[in-house]
Each structure stands twice: as C-alpha cells, then as structure tokens.
Amino acid sequence: MFDKIVTSGVIFSDGMHNAFPTVCRFGGALYIAFRSGKGHLYFDGVIKLMRSCDEGKSWEFVRSFSAEEDLRDPRLLVIDGKLHLYSGMRYSGRSRSLRLETRHWISADGADFEEVPLKGVPSNTFFWGFALRNNSIVGTGYRCDGEIANCVASLYCSSDGSNWELFRELDIAGGNEVALDLDAAGTLHGIVRRDIPPFTPIAFSLAPEGDIQYRELPLAMQGIMLKCVGDGFLIAARRWDGAERRDLRCDYFRCTRSGELSLAGRLPSAGDCSYAACTELKDGKLLVIYYSSHNHWDKRDGMADPEHGLPADICFAIME
C-alpha cells in the first residue's frame, strides 16, 4: 500500500527557493504551506499558504506570512475546528550559535489568521512535528544553545495547541528534527534526524502506558516523513551517495516495526529536495507533497554549492 506513484508534477514554481512544505485537510479543502526565499540559506524566508478545493487538481494562493527574521519549516494542524500554522523563525547575525524560535497563527476560516504566542515552550526552541493523540496534541521541538550538533529534541503535550508542557526529553545525541505519527493502537512513533556522523536517524516508539523504545535505522537520511501504514511505516527522505553527497534524491521506503528498510521507489527529485508531507485523498490514494530542485539541475555547472544555490519547486506525487 502506498508504494506506487500514480502521477506526479509541480504545484508551485516561480524561480525562487520554495521548500519545506506541510499539508492538511481543513473545512473540506486541502491546504499546503511552504517557505519561499531567494535560497535555502538566505534569511529572507516567508511562508506561503495555498488551498485546493478539488482534491489537489488545482491550487489557489491564500496569503503569505512574514516576520522580522527568516521564517521556515511551517506546519499545519487542525485543532478543535481551527487551522493552526506553526513556523520556525531563524535569526540572522554574526554569532555562530544557532538562534531559533517558533511563531504561531490560528484561523477559523482558513483565510484570516491571528498570531497567538506559544506558552510553556522554552526560548530558542523550534517546533517541528505534531500528532493528535486522544484529546491532546503531542508536539516535538528541538532546542539549540550552540551548534546544531548539540541540539536537544523533546516531546511536548497540549490540549489547545497554544499552551504546552514538556512531556519527555529524547535521549538522542545530536537529535533535532522529529517526524511523528500514531498507529491504530495509539502508539506514538517518531524518527529523529541526527546531524552527527554517521547521520543515521533514530526511530522510537512510545505506547500509551509503556516505556520508550529506541532503534537506529541503517541508512543516513534527512528531511524525513513518517506515516504508519498497516503493520509498518512509509518513510520518505533525502538520500545521497558518499561523503561528497552525490546523487541527491528523495527516496521512499517501507519500514518494519523492527526498523528494517526496503527501498520502494524514488520521488522525481534531484539536488536540494525532500521534506515530504502527506495526507490521504478521498479516493483512498495518498497525496505526498515535497520540494525539489530537479527541474533546475541542468543549471548547476560552475556553481560552488548547487545543492543550496538553485531554485526549488513544490512538487507532488499521488501514490496507491
């Protein structure tokens, strides 16, 4: 299930670096949000919100979100009939320390948004992934008090999406971005990115009344999507070959509960890519949203850093 691409294409392309998308269903429509800026590492990022009323066949622009610093990695979540948008904000400056915060907006209609501050979240914390668990929300965030290799990833819980409490710190060296999902039994599953060699992520499972179980996945990967499917998982992530990061692409895998990976396919991608998000369509297929610079890859000759220097598009794949 969900291991065959039926169709794929581009949702948004304007010559800018469009990346880090999120997707959800709200009010009968599909919504996506993504960062748009001059480049992957520029400090000019804004968040663009788009909507589809025909199950992803066409998309319309809704609005942009901007701030005094670089907005990136948005997340959409529906809580109590309202649409919540979370976005990391990266501070510029000459300090080598990574400074991050999280911004938060709420809408009742998907168009008009009010910014609502997060409470209970430590400063310099970047919220990342979310899962709805019974009558509460589990969120993940990572705190950086120095270099990104020294980040600490944690789990938080909330009843309304605005007020949060620390639930558990994850005992993972170098852990930062965390993909989350829940299975049918209510067990929380996650995959934690690690930016220390050998760059292999750590998967974990947390049953409602159980202890947390960790296991290391066998392949280096970044920008990870996790979806519970049957008795296993669907994972999509950025992969590469060798220390020179050759053949950058977004692969997708089937994963067993014990952490065994089997390559299922490759999303149309190259260069700077990945950070997929997904939601099921009304016909039972899976809509996967991700970003990639593969349509601009032929312009890379002579570039010092083509991975981060090319434009990128918001892409989609429908899987069954």
Per-residue model confidence as pLDDT tens digits over 257-280:
999 999 999 999 999 999 999 999
What residue type is 313 in one-letter code? Answer: D
Give the pLDDT confidence score for residue 240 in this predicted structure. 96
pLDDT at 95 over 60: no
Mean pLDDT of 148-170: 92
pLDDT at 126 over 60: yes
Identify the weakest region by mean pLDDT among 11-25, 83-97, 183-197: 83-97
Residue 311 pLDDT class (50, 70, 90 cuts) = very high
pLDDT at 163 over 80: yes
Instruction: Return the structure tokens found at 7.
Output: 């169709």
Mean pLDDT of 108-128: 94
Give the C-alpha separation, 118 to 108, whole Å.
Answer: 18
The dotted CATH code for 5-319 is 2.120.10.10
Give the pLDDT confidence score for residue 134 in this predicted structure. 78
Give the pLDDT confidence score for residue 274 in this predicted structure. 97
Give the pLDDT confidence score for residue 9 in this predicted structure. 98
pLDDT at 310 over 60: yes
Give the pLDDT confidence score for residue 94 in this predicted structure. 53
Torsion angle of C-alpha atoms 30, 48, 237, 252, degrees rounded to 10:
30
What residue type is 122 in one-letter code? Answer: P
pLDDT at 158 over 60: yes
Torsion angle of C-alpha atoms 59, 316, 76, 250, degrees rounded to 10:
-160
Mean pLDDT of 59-82: 97
Identify the weakest region by mean pLDDT among 83-87, 144-148, 232-236: 144-148
CA-atom Rg of the chain in angstroms: 18
> Is the model's pTM score more than 0.85?
yes
Mean pLDDT of 251-256: 97
pLDDT at 99 over 90: no
Give the C-alpha separation, 3 to 320, whole Å.
Answer: 6
DSSP classification of residue 220? -
Residue 146 pLDDT class (50, 70, 90 cuts) = low
Give the pLDDT confidence score for residue 133 in this predicted structure. 82
Mean pLDDT of 54-65: 98
Mean pLDDT of 1-19: 96
